[in-house]
Structure 1
Amino acid sequence: MIRISLRRRTLQCAALLACATLAVAAHAQPTGPIKVGLMLPTSGTFADLGKKVASGFKLYVTENGGKLAGRLVQYVELDDESDPSKANENANKLVKRDRVDVLIGTIHSGVAMTMARVARDTNTLMIVPNAGAAEITGSMCAPNVFRTSFSNWQPGYATGLLAARKHKTAVTISWKYAAGDESVRGFREGFEKGGGKVIKDLHLPFPNVEFQPLLTELATIKPEAAYVFVAGAGQVKFVKDYAAAGLKNSIPLYGAFITEGTLEAQGEAASGLQTALHYADGLKIPKNEAFITSYQKTYNAAPDVFAVQGYDAAQLFAAGLQAVKGDTRKKAEMIKAMEDAKLESPRGPLSFSKSRNPIQDMYARVATGNRNVMTDVIVKALADPSPDCKL
């Protein structure tokens, strides 16, 4: 009886010790690497933009010794191919197979919307470093899905205000997909607020670059100004085609991204084009000057708005991690810290609306050589109204 009692007590003590060990382990601070899922295009039309976003994100991490909140950062990278039909499978691979702590992506709005659905359904933290689809921070908004770039409405609206300073009529040209439609709506709202009138909207399917029929129609309509939304490789061809058609000097061209990252390839055809965006070359603030120096030293290239958006995605993620001392299990506390974050961005002050969309200044810029030089601020602290977000 004594032996059985001793054995029972020994087993009870062992069980208690095991439970205590498990309890300590459960509350121990995570020490392994943080997994960052970079779901960005590395091929196709938007490959260069995806590379710049990734470079910006990694630069911030490098500046902090390869760690965020004291934990090493491990990247899991996946080419999204800018293909919405593959987005669900790819996002689920990162979340369920690779168990990433955060999804970073992407450029293409259609792909990003599917990513956001996966993030919402799995309660995975997600930061959008480019795609401006309204639904992401509108009807699809979720506490765990943030954006560090823009809604398509924001630069469109600011460009409309800019164009309305000098012109009363305009025609828009855009790819017929979500980003193009939303950008044009923003331009129309800003232009009409400034007293202008959009005469007609012209479209072509994404990623078609046969612009000539639309340029011929534009020349026939003869508005005072034109607004364009195409991206990536399409920007270069459009600007060159516009100048070759003899329209550059007769119908001033405006856009948001039309000269971003492509001025060298566009050459003289882009000289003097006016744009409005949330970042500009020559922005004289200490954070931007330090960012430019660091980026050039690291990559031997000048940064642009896409690199800034990636950099700020890392900054925002770090703000959440720092609030919980790297404990990614404290997701609610992380999200709250990110919602309340006020970042010192290379673009200027950056904060976030209730819908998790950026609140940011919008700048007027003019293409000069290989730079989009800031001329003034179009609107301060512009927030997307996000009326469909029910958070």
Structure 2
Amino acid sequence: MPERQERGITRRSFAGLGVAAVAAGLARPAIAQGAAVKIGLMLPFSGTFAALGENIATAFEMHLAEKGGRFGGRAVQIVRLDDESEPSKAVQNVNRLLSRDRVEALVGTVHSGVAMALVQAARERGVPLIIPNAGNVAATRELCAPLIFRTSFSNWQPAFGMGKALAAQGVKKAAWVSWDYAAGKEAGEGFRDGLKAGGAELTRELWLPFPETNFQPILAQIPGLGVEAVGSFFAGGGAVQFVRDYAAAGFRDRIPLTGSGFLTEGTLQAQGAAADGVRTALHYGDGLDNPRNRSFRTAFRDKAGRDADVYAVQGYDAAQLLAIGLDATKGDIAAERELSRAMAGARIDSPRGPFTLSPSHNPVQNIYLREAKGGENRVIGVAAEALADPGTGCRMSS
């Protein structure tokens, strides 16, 4: 791990001063023996993704409460920071947590662009990082590191499951539609690979500038593509509009619309009847019937007054993973090798079903096939069992 020093991180550090300079800026403070371990939750608590950040944090704190407020016998103090899903403020926010608030581990975030500042900090300083949502593949591929872990997904995973499921259903040719940005391209690669694994083919890719929602030029091309299904990656308001427009164009019954689970995750109420029958793949879904999930959903509703979702599950499992690491080191978060080893070897008893971690520290998990019906993403099968991200380019070193 890089040598510890005592200076502040700056935007210029991240922009180009290199590993040594940034490492110098991310000094971890000396913590008094017996003091609480400070955990920084860097998440969106305002703006478009506020509900996601709140569910992650609430579920994280729920597991901490279940553990009596202690991990590894050591009291835990949570420091929340609203990252506003704003990449331009990410370095400043990381600096605030590490230098001013003097946290010893980081949990974040939702937005992949913001997550890259956290990944930099973890790599160049050696501060433990758990990613409870952001799916950018680089974090557990070429930018992997001993103290970087993910409890969510890579963008590749759900889309791979969807492609594989379509091939298993007899689809031979499919198209991919998404915004022309990193998440859409990474998911598109997964969809293509899933189709190929089942003997099918991705024959066309249609891209729309992000975050445009005029889908008519794209939809006009669908009838002439000669495909049996369309896969897609959209989220939020874009997903609402695309599903509505696709149904209005009359394609839903002729050329089934499918996608990575975020196409209908958290958007079904706004999509209404237009989403009925849309199949997606994700590592969680409504009606997932296992004892852990049933107890988790009851406890979350009692605490938060609302139903749990995939984001709550990911936050809960981030807390479980960190607790496993600190239990193994008896609360000594500076015991980096032991902490990393324990977390890397963990088996998480998750509401999504048990999962382990790949060599690049990404979940090896079931990707479920879901069908939207009556305002729920009902699990109807397993699209890909115990699926690991390829971890391409990961060269883990201690």
Same fold (TM over 0.5): yes
Map of 1:112 onto structure 2: 115
CA contact 1:180–1:229 (8 Å) conserved in 2: yes
Cα distance in 1 for residues equivalent to 2:357 and 2:296: 21
Amino acid at match of 1:63: E
Which of residues 339, 347, 357 in structure 1 aligns to 2:362? 357
CA contact 2:159–2:194 (8 Å) conserved in 1: yes
Map of 1:92 onto structure 2: 95
Amino acid at match of 1:85: S
User: Structure 1 stretch 281-290 or stretch 72-81: which is displaced more?
Assistant: 72-81
Amino acid at match of 1:297: D
Q: What does the per-residue CA deviation read over 1:333-388, in whole Å, with 9 as the maximum and x for residues that have no partner?
A: 11111011111110111111111111111111111212211111222211112120
Aligned positions of 1:243-322 closer than 5 A = 243-256=247-260, 257-322=262-327
CA contact 2:165–2:384 (8 Å) conserved in 1: no
Q: What does the per-residue CA deviation read over 1:10-55, in whole Å, with 9 as the maximum and x for residues that have no partner?
A: xxxxxxxxxxxxxxxxx99843222221111223332322222222
Q: What does the per-residue CA deviation read over 1:301-360, in whole Å, with 9 as the maximum and x for residues that have no partner?
A: 221111111110010001011111212222221111101111111011111111111111
CA contact 1:45–1:233 (8 Å) conserved in 2: no
CA contact 2:239–2:264 (8 Å) conserved in 1: yes
Name the CA shift for 1:79/1:29 in 2 (closer, same or farther; >3 Å).
Answer: closer
CA contact 2:141–2:391 (8 Å) conserved in 1: yes
Give the percent of matched residue pairs that are identical in Structure 1 and Structure 2.
50
Name the CA shift for 1:45/1:166 in 2 (closer, same or farther; >3 Å).
Answer: farther
5+ residue gaps, structure 1? 1-26
Map of 1:241 onto structure 2: 245
Cα distance in 2 for residues equivalent to 1:211 and 1:28: 54
Give the greater-gyration-radius structure (CA): 1
How many residues are aligned here? 365
The structural deviation recorded for 1:230 is: 1.3
Cα distance in 1 for residues equivalent to 2:37 and 2:240: 38
CA contact 1:365–1:372 (8 Å) conserved in 2: yes
SS at match of 1:378: strand
Aligned positions of 1:38-187 closer than 5 A = 38-164=41-167, 165-187=169-191
Runs of 4+ in 1 over 4 A off after TM superposition: none
Which of residues 328, 333, 342 in structure 1 aligns to 2:333? 328
Name the CA shift for 1:210/1:43 in 2 (closer, same or farther; >3 Å).
Answer: farther
Cα distance in 1 for residues equivalent to 2:229 and 2:188: 14
Cα distance in 2 for residues equivalent to 1:361 and 1:207: 30
CA contact 2:156–2:189 (8 Å) conserved in 1: yes
CA contact 1:263–1:370 (8 Å) conserved in 2: yes
Name the CA shift for 1:354/1:35 in 2 (closer, same or farther; >3 Å).
Answer: same
CA contact 2:70–2:76 (8 Å) conserved in 1: yes
Amino acid at match of 2:201: K
CA contact 2:53–2:110 (8 Å) conserved in 1: yes
Name the CA shift for 1:100/1:29 in 2 (closer, same or farther; >3 Å).
Answer: closer
The structural deviation recorded for 1:294 is: 0.7
5+ residue gaps, structure 2? 1-29
Amino acid at match of 1:159: M
Cα distance in 1 for residues equivalent to 2:339 and 2:361: 13
